[in-house]
Amino acid sequence: MNIVVCGKIIPASTVTIELDPNTKRMVRKGVTHELDPAAASAVEEGLRLSEKHGGAVTLVTMGISEVTIGIRNALAMGVASAVHILDDAVAGSDTLGTAKLLAAAIKKQPFDLVLCATESSDSYSGIVHGQLAQLLGIPALTFAKEVTADGGRISIHRQSENGYDVVESTLPALVAVSSGINEPRYPQLKGIMAAKKKEIKVYTAADLGLAADQVGEKGAREKVLTIGRPPKREAGKVVTDEGEGGKQIADFLAEIKVI
Amino acid sequence: MSEANGILIVGELIDARLSSVTSELLNAGGQLAASLGQPLYAVLLGTNLQNAAQEAMSNGASKVFLAEHPLLNEEQVEAHVTALQQVAEQVQPSILLIGRTQLGRELGPRLAFRLRVGLAQDAVALTVEPGTQRLLVTRPVYGGNALAVVTMKRKPQIVTVRPKVFEAATNDKTTEGELVRVAVEIPNSVVRSRVVERVAQETAGVKMEEARVVGGGGRGLGGPAPFAELEKLAKLLGGAVGASRPACDAGWIDPRFQIGLTGKTITPELYIAVAISGACQHMAGCSGAKVIVAVNHDTEAEIFKQARYGVVGDWRKIVPAFTEAIRELVS
């Protein structure tokens, strides 16, 4: 089973996000990046499936040159090779532009299964995988908290409002996994060494057959007008527990008549 | 092609009744309809839709489109998208609102793709720009670190709306609504994945999303056992227990109790955040709480900037003492 994992590499969780008032986007250039933990779960699931059923795992990602560190991390985890869509012209792509680029890159190799995160930990839109499945013409199984493959079929446990649904389809298919589906492995030294020799193919939008007006800001159907910080709640009183902390909260709640 | 007109609400049903989110959309849509001078419509999908259609009308819809098909009783995304595409092409609304529910989150992107239009996901505010009459959508981005105002270039302007942001519509409209049946065609080839089993994991006590008091536990609890402590406290207050994403991802509590951007949105009178740092992804799901109190060992925890009352210290000592003090107060 050949598996493509679409994963995003995002500013590290330790980085304080800066907003650029001109582009109305997050500042990514010069910022330390890491493989999105949500994407790491998709990578891990891909590796587990390939260990069980054979076949190679390929990572497909898009981003500025700062994302290379995250690609290396996925390769060190055990991914066989990577595809990096790297092109200034794709900056500001909306979700559809992104999906078009990813779909074109995925189509360049044989695949039975495409794995994605449900949503990235930075933009949180959760839109791309649905569009990607449409573009690839394959069924999408989403919110997966368990994945099993059997012959030409795939079966998942899909998180529902009050439990889960068992959803099945034939392959090829796209599966979007929930973040808690597994505990992604840490790369071992051997993997880190091996990763240095693995191939990262780099494509531009033109390489993928996409014209400049289909991607980037020009191709976007949504436009960001303004961006700013959300309003903060007013901070209240903070006390340090000296044995009375529990009672103090209770008294406060009684005082403002919440209980 | 005629000018796109009307605000179309995509209804969802729970036990043959309008879901609360649908009612919220009818309220939000009604406000947009009033400022644009356009009609408010709803579309319902499934079978036995009569009662829900009446509800939609009393909530303000002047026309309710019924897409009747047995496949639409299942949470089958492709079937829903196929039907909605046909309805949208017939109705040609200027705005189409979908609840950001489990189903809605999947419908939005696919429908936008089929209709070749843009999409704004997870709206927390909707306004009409004076003059241009464009829809301005406010949505959280970068994990709730920022709020963006976006517009869409084509019509219909499709938006998924976060639940519990808008009040539910009042069901006092006397509109003599019109029922319009739309004959939708859903070829079998469309349905390529099937739900073969539905497993409901019943929750004892109050539902988290409806609870007046919610006690949330986070990474700092360190394991599944401490949730029993929160359970005791919540039970005493007639409330429910929830959790942050790290606690759910670690497997300490089922993901259906996850509060936050990826999980559920709660709007209780009181939210008790225990061993939760208060990352914006989490706060996005609980910032509608009237009062937040927090217990955390870290003086610098973000949660203390948002809580009305915070106690710095060890939850192992504070929570049992808090529970005891509540027990005395309520008895």
Q: What is the ipTM of this complex?
A: 0.85
User: Looking at residue A214, what is its pLDDT?
Assistant: 87
Answer yes or no: do B160 and B230 share one domain.
no
Measured distance CA(B54)–CA(B10) in Å, rounded = 15
Measured between alpha carbons, how far is residue B48 from residues A125, B14, B65, B69 in Å? Answer: 33, 12, 13, 10
Where is the domain boundary, B123, B156, B190? Answer: B190
Nearest chain B residue to A220 by CA: give it: B118
Nearest chain B residue to A100 by CA: give it: B113
Measured distance CA(B133)–CA(A153) in Å, rounded = 48
The pTM for the full model equals 0.88
Answer yes or no: do B24 and B130 share one domain.
yes
Answer yes or no: do B12 and B160 share one domain.
yes
Where is the domain boundary, B134, B160, B190? Answer: B190
Q: One digit per residue, pLDDT tens: chain A, 259 residues? A: 999 999 999 999 888 888 888 888 889 999 999 999 999 999 999 999 999 999 999 999 999 999 999 999 999 999 999 999 999 999 888 888 999 999 999 999 999 999 999 988 887 778 899 999 999 999 999 999 999 999 899 999 998 878 899 999 999 999 999 988 999 999 999 999 999 999 999 999 999 999 988 899 888 888 889 998 887 777 799 999 999 999 999 999 999 988 8
Are residues B150 and A250, on separate chains, in Cβ contact within 8 Å?
no
Nearest alpha-carbon partner for A113 in A100, A129, A97 = A129
Tens digit of each residue's pLDDT (9 = 90 or more) over B111-159: 999 999 989 989 999 999 999 999 999 998 887 788 999 999 899 999 9
- Is A217 at the interface with chain B, CB within 8 A? no
User: Looking at residue B1, what is its pLDDT?
Assistant: 47
Looking at the structure, give the CATH architecture of the domain made up of residues A2-219. 3-Layer(aba) Sandwich (3.40)
Measured distance CA(A61)–CA(A202) in Å, rounded = 10
The Cα angle at residue A129 between residues B184 and A135, in degrees rounded to 5: 65
Nearest chain B residue to A229 by CA: give it: B146
Question: Which of B150, B153, B192 is the closest to A225 by Cβ?
Answer: B150
- A chain contacts of residue B151, beta-carbon cutoff 8 Å: 222-223, 225
Task: Give all strands of the β-sheet with B240-243 in edge-to-edge order.
Answer: A237-240, B309-312, B291-296, B270-274, B213-217, B240-243
Measured distance CA(A23)–CA(A17) in Å, rounded = 14
- Is A255 at the interface with chain B, CB within 8 A? no
Q: Which of A94, A165, A237, A257 to mutate to test the interface with B (most CBs of B within 10 A)?
A: A165
In this structure, the strands spanning B135-141 and B146-152 are: antiparallel
The CATH number for B308's domain is 3.40.50.1220
Answer yes or no: do B182 and B232 share one domain.
no
Answer yes or no: do B16 and B127 share one domain.
yes
Answer yes or no: do B48 and B93 share one domain.
yes
Answer yes or no: do B144 and B13 share one domain.
yes
Are residues B106 and A131, on separate chains, in Cβ contact within 8 Å?
no
Residues with Cβ within 8 Å of A30's Cβ and at least 6 positions away in sequence, in order, are A66
**Domain locations in chain A as residue ranges:** 2-219
If one counts the domains in chain B, the total is 2
- The answer to whether residue B195 sits within a structural domain is no
Q: What are phi and psi of A82, to 5 degrees?
A: -135, 155
Nearest chain B residue to A236 by CA: give it: B308
DSSP state of B190: G
Pairs of CB atoms within 8 A across A/B: 269
Domain region containing B317 = 208-330
Q: Is the distance from CB of A126 to CB of A119 less than 8 angstroms?
A: yes
Question: Which of A19, A248, A259 is the closest to B146 by Cβ?
Answer: A19
Are residues A223 and B120, on separate chains, in Cβ contact within 8 Å?
no
Answer yes or no: do B186 and B300 share one domain.
no
User: Looking at residue A160, what is its pLDDT?
Assistant: 84
- Is A137 at the interface with chain B, CB within 8 A? no
Hey, what amino acid is at A99?
Answer: A
Hey, what amino acid is at A44?
Answer: E
Measured distance CA(A70)–CA(A155) in Å, rounded = 29
Per-position DSSP letters for B105-158, written without gaps between them = HHHHHHHHHHHT--EEEEESEEEE-TTT--EEEEEEETTTTEEEEEEESSSSEE
Which residues, listed in sequence order, are joined to residue A9 by a DSSP beta bridge? A35
- Is A148 at the interface with chain B, CB within 8 A? no
- The answer to whether residue B159 sits within a structural domain is yes
Under-70 pLDDT residues of chain B: 1-2, 175
User: Looking at residue B2, what is its pLDDT?
Assistant: 62
Measured distance CA(A252)–CA(A245) in Å, rounded = 11
HEC string for A72-110: HHHHHHCCCEEEEECCHHHCCCCHHHHHHHHHHHHCCCC
Q: Which of B12, B15, B113 to mutate to test the interface with A (most CBs of A within 10 A)?
A: B113
Residue that the structure tokens 């509109």 belong to: B175
Question: Can you state the angle between helices B315-330 and A245-255, rounded to 10 degrees?
Answer: 40
- A chain contacts of residue B122, beta-carbon cutoff 8 Å: 124-125
Are residues B256 and A162, on separate chains, in Cβ contact within 8 Å?
yes
User: Looking at residue A155, what is its pLDDT?
Assistant: 97
| Number of other residues whose CB lies within 10 A of the CB of residue A138 | 21
Measured distance CA(B73)–CA(B53) in Å, rounded = 15
Answer yes or no: do B39 and B184 share one domain.
yes
Nearest chain A residue to B201 by CA: give it: A163
Q: How many Å lie between the alpha carbon of B180 and the closest alpha carbon of chain A? A: 29
- The answer to whether residue B234 sits within a structural domain is yes
Buried b (16+ CB within 10 A) or exposed e, B238-259: ebbbbbbbbbbbbebbbbbbbb
Q: How many Å lie between the alpha carbon of A71 and the closest alpha carbon of chain B? A: 21
Measured distance CA(A37)–CA(A40) in Å, rounded = 5
Nearest alpha-carbon partner for A117 in A194, A59, A186, A199 = A59
Hey, what amino acid is at A255?
Answer: E
Q: Which of A44, A141, A167 to mutate to test the interface with B (most CBs of B within 10 A)?
A: A167
**Residue B196: exposure state from Cβ atoms within 10 A (0-12, 13-18, ≥19):** exposed
Residues with Cβ within 8 Å of B243's Cβ and at least 6 positions away in sequence, in order, are B216, B217, B218, B227, B252, B253, B257, B258, B259
User: Looking at residue B175, what is its pLDDT?
Assistant: 67
Measured between alpha carbons, how far is residue B87 from residues B44, B64, B156, B187 in Å? Answer: 10, 11, 12, 16
Question: Which of B78, B196, B310 is the closest to A166 by Cβ?
Answer: B196
Q: How many Å lie between the alpha carbon of B179 and the closest alpha carbon of chain A? A: 30
Residue that the structure tokens 């919610």 belong to: B214
Q: How many Å lie between the alpha carbon of A199 and the closest alpha carbon of chain B? A: 31
User: Looking at residue B263, what is its pLDDT?
Assistant: 84
Answer yes or no: do B301 and B172 share one domain.
no
Answer yes or no: do B62 and B162 share one domain.
yes
- The answer to whether residue B218 sits within a structural domain is yes
Omega before A172 cis (within 30°)?
yes
